[in-house]
Amino acid sequence: MKVRVHVSLKNGVLDPQGRAIHHAIEGLGFSGVKDVRAGRLFELEVDDSVTDAQLDDMAGKLLANMVIENYRIERVAA
């Protein structure tokens, strides 16, 4: 089973990478983009026996920095 973990910065946390990308998008001539936030995406291939609690544990301990980031776990049908 495939699992996606989306990690994004919490609201209020400064995102210099996102800001740089926003500037670059405007520099390329695109208009209409109001904000860009950069985050990370992990795609895990796990056994069906892995529980939501275990995934939660992995994400909180290893994949996201819970001080400044949130995560969202999404199970994808295999």
Site residues, a second copy (CB under 8 A): 6-8, 18, 21, 24-25, 28, 30, 32-47, 49-50, 54, 57-58, 61-63
Kindly calculate the radius of gyration of the chain based on its CA atoms and give it in whole angstroms: 16
Give yes or no for a contact between 3 and 43, defined as CB atoms under 8 angstroms apart.
yes
Rounded to a whole number of angstroms, the minimum distance from the CB of residue 54 to a second copy is: 6
> ∠ CA 19-20-25 to the nearest 5 degrees?
95
Of the two residues 35 and 67, which places its CB atom closer to a second copy in the complex? 35
Rounded to a whole number of angstroms, the minimum distance from the CB of residue 67 to a second copy is: 18
